[in-house]
Structure 1
Amino acid sequence: MTGTVNMADLRLVEWSTATAEERHRILSRGSGHDGIDEGLRASIATIVEDVRKRGDAALVDALGRFDKMDLPAERLRVSEEEFAQARAAVSEPLVEAIRTSIAQVRAFNELIVERASWTVETRPGLLVGEQATAIPSVGLFVPSGKGSFPSVLIQIATPAVVAGVERIVVMVPPVPGSTGQVDPATLVAAQELGLSEVYRSNGPAGIAALACGTETVPKVRKIVGPGSPAVACAQLEVQRLGCVVEVGFGPTDAAIVADDSADLRLLAADLINEAEHGPDSSAVLVSTSRTLLEGVRPHVAEQLAELPEPRRTYATTSIAANGGLVLAASREEAMEVANAYAPEHLQLAVEEPKALLPLAKYSGTVLLGQWTTFAASNFAIGTPATLPTTGFAQVSSGVTASTYLVRAAIAQLDEPEFRRLAPVVTELAGHEGFPAHAATVTVRQPAGD
């Protein structure tokens, strides 16, 4: 189905003269507010506490209350028979795409693991470094409310497998409107990765189960995975119970910095790419060329009109209301806008993207040139695609093998280097009032000194 899409609302903001309100609209993704709704937080806290106290019974009740599914506790874990049925239900081309995607992500993360542990002799007699070790357990949450997302599991589970996490648990809400089935493509991805512990649960209750443990669901030390605002709220809530959660994975957002060398038709396609995720997504195009920004409008309108609903409405809202076009006075200002926005995905659609790369400080991923698309990054390249959103790229990074590693600093001194540093130890130990610290030096002094 096609139709006319009016791009009159696709505002062009001139950054150097923009009002504080205009800048805030762009940087806040059109939300106009910050933080989590207090009513939602209270509701989620009640669910978490219920799961902590009642375990499986609370998970079953949550599925009945929120998802209208009547499932016994025995069905919380996905069975071997369901894995077999899922494989039969998924087409061979999709299976091959899943395998290739896993191989690409695996190759990228193997490079990270190879470089994770290191040692260097910084001076004669002093060796320092880090030893990386996989965390013991992790719970991976894969959303299913808006569709089938095997790529999410590929992106967050493959790095955990490569890192060597001993116990990897997957939590997936049942397919909406079903009798409790878990998305077959996600199960195939799990099977390809060698993961057999897959559980079904309402999102917030499932997060609580991973953090607290139930009769069926094992307790894990860390939780990773994107989700709805309710899921994100549950992830924040369970941290008070001692479970570490990788946060910052909210509604998707993307920015493109372009110059006059960019193809307008391709720019429009890439701008719409991330915008179609949902009405809370955001997409921004930044350029120093007014001609480019004005010229891209009809291409955006034309390509939006070709999208089916609800993707058309999602994308239109994400671009016109939550994002927009930004005119920068210079390439430096263009990158200042990109860094302030701190997108999940940043594409440099410029003639010499590598020259601009040093100015790209804050983004989940940086894609160089118009052939390095958001969709290729999401599905096929192997670089992380579960990335910090809503500005979290200023303080956190995407999910890679590093997400599942802990690092212990290591050091070794020989005797001459120890004696060279000994006065530093005794001086600071004396100043801070730690005689036993100082004694570790004096006890090693040669007899008669």
Structure 2
Amino acid sequence: MQVIKYPQKQDWQQILTRPAIDMDELEEVVNQIYKEIKCDGDKALLKYTWFYDRIKIDELEVSREEIDASTQLISEDLKQAMAVAAKNIELFHASQFPESKIIETTTGVSCWRKATAIEKVGLYIPGGSAPLFSTVLMLGVPAKLAGCKEVILCTPPGKDGEIDPAILYASKLVGIDRVFRVGGIQAIGAMAFGTESIPNVFKIFGPGNQFVTAAKQRVNKVGVAIDMPAGPSEVLVLADKIAEPSFVAADLLSQAEHGADSQVILLTWDKDLVDKVVAEVEVQLSALSRRNVAELALKNSKIILVESMEEALEMSNEYGPEHLIVSVENEEEVVSHIQNAGSVFLGNYTPESAGDYASGTNHTLPTNGYAKAYSGVNLESFMKSISFQKISEKGLLELGPVIETMAKAEQLDAHCNAVSVRLKKIKSE
């Protein structure tokens, strides 16, 4: 990790730059694959699964028998752990149902909103070297809780053409309707446009690498909603003298092992903490099974020593991290100044891993600075709101002249007349 001491503010933008992704070049690839999916359907999905992953598959859909068999292929400990995590996720998300209130804005004018589930949603679950069954819980639980009628899941197969049994068991646990063995750009395209085997959906959820991110952003341009433009994972740790160096190092490495394009940052105003964390990172890194991946991520990562807590907070808000860990003496003061973050973890005993798996909060979060404008996935992500209004005769008599005046000022005579004919009718009775 690069250690940067007391940077000048004019250098912050360069220092906080994420690993670059050439979206223009990726979009050309995405457009070509989408063109083929629209023309060739399943044939294109099989072609690109072989082209990118060198995996030959015969059936895109995972059978119910395969899903049911997953129950016998994972340990009882893992089943129990998933059950606890799913319960916590459900409890937290169930508290997020929006309240519908009827508001009388003017006498006789009532307005309200009704939240309804998005009927068809698609979940993308990263697979490959680290099949993320936890994401099945994070997306599947709120999707079913919200009442989505059709929930499908796409995930890349392993080298044997099969789906990791933990992903299949998690799908069964939360009640996913259909599971397909396809990943990458082609999976996003299939859910967006539909093929012979895979139905199209109205909104696509799930994290992924730069290819999946580019694919989601492209379908968003053609009318298919996405959860957010999430990309490679990241964490920023705010720490001072009360932080435990071994904990800080562990949190940094827990994100670094996600992928070579991940980024981890430590921001501190305690100069003694820097060397301690550097040493701990080296010790813990040597024991990781995904050491090679973490080492590549650490090349994009930084330890930044600043003058004060205030400066660290300003820099953190400028970065807008996906995950923000706060291990500081003045916790309440720091929390009151946090403006931009996907999810926040407070205190020495709140590892980011808790949010990834089982505390109940959602781990599908905005990255790449999008936390400045986006929230993480929540129950309402799987819902949409419809506004309603009802106006009585008395209400239109009171509000009608206001509408007529505004419509005339915008030179929209038909808008004005839609009110005028009604007022004329009321007054004639």
Greater mean alpha carbon deviation, residues 248-257 or residues 78-87: 78-87
Contact 2:151 2:178 in 1 (8 A): yes
- Give 1:245 deviation, angstroms: 2.2
Question: Contact (CA 8 Å) 2:397, 2:423: kept in 1 or not?
Answer: no
Residue 43 of structure 2 corresponds to: 57
8 Å Cα contact 1:288/1:329 also seen in 2: yes
1:293 equivalent among 274, 285, 289: 274
1:408 maps to 2:386:
yes
Instruction: Kindly provide the CA deviation profile for residues 200-251 of structure 1, in whole angstroms up to 9, marking residues without a partner as x.
Output: 1242112111111111111111111111222222222333443222332211
Pairing 1:252-267 to 2, within 5 Å after superposition = 252-267=233-248
- Do the aligned partners of 1:135 and 1:165 also contact (CA within 8 Å) in 2? yes
Cα drift, residue 172 of structure 1? 1.1
- CA deviation profile, 1:356-415 (whole Å, cap 9, x unmatched): 222111111111212221001110111110111111111211111111111122344455
Gap regions ≥5 residues in structure 2: none
In 2, the alpha carbon distance for the partners of 1:162 and 1:430 equals 46
Tell whether 2:242 aligns with 1:245.
Answer: no
Q: Secondary structure at the match of 1:251?
A: coil
Q: Does 1:336 align with 2:317?
A: no
**Kindly tell me: are residues 359 and 125 of structure 1, through their superposed partners in 2, closer, same or farther at Cα, counting changes over 3 Å?**
farther
1:36 aligns with 2:60: no
CA distance in 1, matches of 2:358, 2:106: 43
Q: 1:124 deviation in Å?
A: 5.6
The answer as to 2:208 corresponding to 1:219 is: no
Farther-moved stretch of structure 1 (103-112 vs 413-422): 413-422
Matches of 2:118 and 2:394 in 1, distance apart? 36
Could you list the per-position Cα deviations for residues 42-88 of structure 1 after superposition, in whole angstroms to 9, with x for gaps in the alignment? Answer: 2222111111111112122222333333333xx11101221132211
**CA apart distance, 1:37:** 4.9
Give me the whole-angstrom Cα distance separating, in 2, the residues matched to 1:395 and 1:145: 30
CA drift of 1:350 comes to: 1.4
Match of 1:3 in 2: none
Q: CA deviation at 1:306?
A: 2.5
Instruction: Quote the sequence identity (%).
Output: 32
SS in 1 for 2:144: helix
2:282 is aligned with 1:313: no
Amino acid at match of 2:16: L
Residues 10, 413 of structure 1: alpha-carbon distance in 2 compared, 3 angstrom cutoff: same
Equivalent of residue 12 in structure 1, options 4, 8, 13: 4
1:157 and 1:58 map into 2 onto residues whose CA distance is: 27
Q: What does residue 80 of structure 1 align with? A: 64
For 1:165-314, list aligned pairs within 5 A: 165-175=148-158, 177-178=159-160, 180-308=161-289, 311-314=290-293
> Which residue does the alignment assign to 1:5?
none
Q: 1:440: Cα distance to partner?
A: 4.2
Residues 124 and 155 of structure 2 are in contact (CA less than 8 Å); yes or no, is this contact kept in structure 1?
Answer: yes
What code does the residue aligned with 2:51 have?
R
Query: Residue 141 of structure 1 contacts residue 223 of structure 1 at CA under 8 Å; is this kept in 2?
Result: yes
Do 1:59 and 1:206's aligned partners in 2 also have CA atoms closer than 8 Å? yes
CA positional deviation for 1:297: 2.2
- Give 1:209's aligned amino acid: A
Could you tell me which residue of structure 2 aligns to residue 353 of structure 1? 331
The answer to whether 1:163 aligns with 2:155 is no
Structure 1 residues 357 and 125 mapped into 2: Cα distance closer, same or farther (>3 Å)? farther
Is 75-84 or 119-128 further displaced after alignment?
119-128
Contact 2:68/2:172 (8 A) holds in 1: no
143 and 218 in structure 1: CA distance in 2 versus 1, 3 angstrom threshold: same
Q: Does 1:382 align with 2:382?
A: no
Displacement after TM superposition at 1:330 (Å): 2.8
1:124 to 1:264, Cα distance in 2 relative to 1, 3 A: farther
CA contact under 8 A between 1:67 and 1:202: conserved in structure 2? no
Q: 1:230 to 1:428 in 2, by over 3 A?
A: same
Q: How many corresponding residue pairs?
A: 427
Distance 1:25 1:436, change over 3 A: closer
1:137 to 109, 115, 120: 120
Task: State yes or no: 1:327 paired with 2:305.
Answer: yes
| Residue 431 in structure 1 maps to residue 409 in structure 2 | yes
How many angstroms apart in 2 are the aligned matches of 1:338 and 1:405? 31
What is the Cα-based RMSD across aligned positions, in Å? 2.2
Report the TM-score, using the length of structure 1 for normalisation.
0.89
Contact 1:171 1:198 in 2 (8 A): yes
Rounded Cα–Cα distance in structure 1 between residues aligned with 2:153 and 2:56: 21
Q: Deviations over 1:174-197 (max 9, x none)?
A: 11x21x101110000000011230
Give the CA deviation at 1:112.
0.8
1:109 corresponds to 2:93? yes
| AA aligned opposite 1:271 | L
**d(CA) in 2 for partners of 1:229, 1:297:** 29
Per-residue deviation, 1:284 = 0.9
User: Is contact 1:62-1:202 (8 Å) kept?
Assistant: no
Distance (whole Å) between structure 2 residues aligned to residue 447 and residue 414 of structure 1 = 14
CA distance in 2 between partners of 1:247 and 1:205 (Å): 18
Q: Give the superposition deviation at 1:259.
A: 2.1
* Local SS of the residue matching 1:62: helix
The code of the aligned residue for 2:79 comes to V
Q: CA deviation at 1:116?
A: 4.7
| Amino acid across the alignment from 1:132 | A
Residue identity in the other structure for 1:36:
M
- For the residue of structure 2 that corresponds to 1:351, the secondary structure is coil
